[in-house]
Amino acid sequence: MNSHPVRPGLSARLPRPAALLLLLIGLLPASLSAAELDTTEAVLRELPRERVLDALVEAVREATVSAQINGRIVKIYYDVDDYVEKGAVLLRFRDTEVRARFEAAKAAYDEARTAHARVKELFAKNLVSKSQMDKAEARLKAAKARLDEARENLANTQVRAPYSGIVVKRHVEVGELARVGQPLFTGISLEELRATANVPEDIINVVRRNKTARVILDRADNRSVPAESITISPYADPATHTFNVRVNLPKGDYHIYPGMFAKVAFLVGKTRELVIPRRAVAHRSEVTAVYVVDEQGRIAFRQIRVGRHAADDVVVLAGLSEGEKVVLDPVKGAAAYKAQHAALAEAGDHE
């Protein structure tokens, strides 16, 4: 947008009140009259047309860790709301019997390996038959399988986190005897989130074609995050005739959590909307306004209604027309506006 300096001055073509106003502006204190007010015009711009729908925030990764062996729990290292790194030990089972079985399996494997090596050496000298060699190999393979199973069972006495995340539920207590398949912990990862929305059938084709959306995190300031990817259900819900659409967010900390409500804006076309720079907007308590400068250099404090943000601009829904000039710096605009009113009041006293 181009900036237009407003230079107050007297015009012979203006009616007497307007000319007097400009003269008084020219006589304002040097700190105000010397500073030019940078302005810009409200313009129509082509912007994406969106359909905003309610959505629910979900964790992409949510899983329940279950017991892989039968055992008594002797130590729990994490609880609800704790952050856990991937691979961290969540709890530990008593491993006395499991470790003993592992040591026995390891000893049996070492014995089978030694026997296999001896038979192999004899077989190479044709001192034993092929069947004896085959039996030695079979015994070694069986011993190796039993050792692998025992090693896995020993590893399972320490339950580890499959990914980094937050513990949302602990299902067991210390001293409890857990069985295979029994839930131990439920956790979610906050690093990967998505927003799930039900999209009506009247726009599903354009949503499927564009596959472009943004998740609105804060309606107050229109803070949003572009979708990293979109997954669309291939069929509609027969009861609601809507399609479940998952909008995946890029990895990051957005201060939102699973279960929270959000808004998703789906791109459905283009539209022309009136925009001004966001920095030109003044916020006074609950009032949103701009300082408007007319052709005679008069400044007005005008309330407006704004919509979504478009990069450094904001959409104006009401209160301005195309081509009207607004002051880019609301602080300077406020100072000039007050000085102008003071000058008018003084002129009224002198009449």
pLDDT tens sequence across 81-122: 999 999 999 999 999 999 999 999 999 999 999 999 999 999
pLDDT at position 285: 84
pLDDT for residue 221 is more than 80: no
Ranking 130-134, 200-204, 216-220, 325-329 by mean pLDDT, the lowest is 216-220
Q: Cβ contacts of residue 102 below 8 Å, gap of 6+?
A: 147, 150, 151, 153, 154
Of 68-77, 154-163, 236-245, 291-300, which range is least confident? Answer: 291-300
Tell me which fold the domain 51-61+191-269 belongs to: Elongation Factor Tu (Ef-tu); domain 3 (2.40.30)
Q: What is the pLDDT of residue 3?
A: 52
pLDDT > 70 fraction of the chain, expressed in percent and rounded:
87
For residue 256, the model assigns a pLDDT of 86
Taken in order 250, 251, 253, 259, the sign of the CA dihedral is positive
Calculated CA dihedral for residues 333, 334, 339, 345, nearest 10 degrees: 120
Residue 6: CA atoms inside 13 Å, Cβ hemisphere, count?
Answer: 28
The answer to whether 270 and 276 have CB atoms below 8 angstroms apart is no
Mean pLDDT within 340-345:
78
Q: Does the pLDDT of residue 199 top 70, yes or no?
A: yes
Contact 232, 226 (CB under 8 A): no
CA-CA distance, 162 to 252, in Å (whole number)? 20
pLDDT at 195: 96
Domain segments of the chain as ranges: 3-46+272-350, 51-61+191-269, 67-188
Degrees to nearest 5, angle at CA 323 with 321 and 327: 90
User: Who wins on pLDDT, 280 or 223?
Assistant: 280
Instruction: Tell whether the model's pLDDT for residue 29 goes beyond 70.
Output: no
Neighbours of 235 (CB within 10 A): 7
- Identify the pLDDT of residue 18: 47
pLDDT at residue 16, as a whole number: 47
Looking at residue 154, its pLDDT comes to: 96
> Distance (Å, rounded) from C-alpha 104 to C-alpha 3?
85
Residue with tokens 């003044």: 282
The per-residue pLDDT for 335 is 87
Q: What is the mean pLDDT of the chain?
A: 87
At the second CATH level, the architecture of 67-188 is: Beta Barrel (2.40)
Per cent of the chain over pLDDT 90 is: 71
Asked if 281 contacts 261 with a C-beta cutoff of 8 angstroms, the reply is: no
* Domain 3-46+272-350 in CATH 3.90.550.10: no
* Residue 73 φ/ψ, nearest 5 degrees: -80, 125
DSSP 249: P
Q: Is the pLDDT of residue 12 over 80?
A: no
The pLDDT value given to residue 202:
94
In the structure, what pLDDT confidence band is assigned to residue 220 with cuts at 50, 70 and 90? low
Give the pLDDT score at 345: 75
Within 8 A by CB and 6+ apart from 116, the residues are: 136, 137, 139, 140
Q: How far is the C-alpha of 1 from the C-alpha of 276, rounded, in Å?
A: 9
With bands split at pLDDT 50, 70 and 90, how would you rate the model's confidence at 346? confident
Strands (E), 219-311: 223-226, 229-232, 242-248, 261-277, 282-284, 287-293, 299-303, 305-310
CA distances from 284 to 8, 115, 281, 296, 334 (A): 26, 90, 10, 26, 11
- Range of weakest confidence among 67-76, 188-197, 231-240, 250-259: 250-259
- Contacts of residue 17, defined as CB under 8 A and 6 or more positions apart, other chains included, come to none
Encoding tokens for residue 186?
Answer: 């439920």
Q: Name the pLDDT band for 21 (thresholds 50, 70, 90).
A: very low
**What pLDDT does 344 receive?**
75
Q: Is pLDDT larger for residue 196 or for residue 348?
A: 196
The helix (H) or strand (E) run that includes residue 179 is: none
pLDDT at residue 1 greater than cutoff 70: no
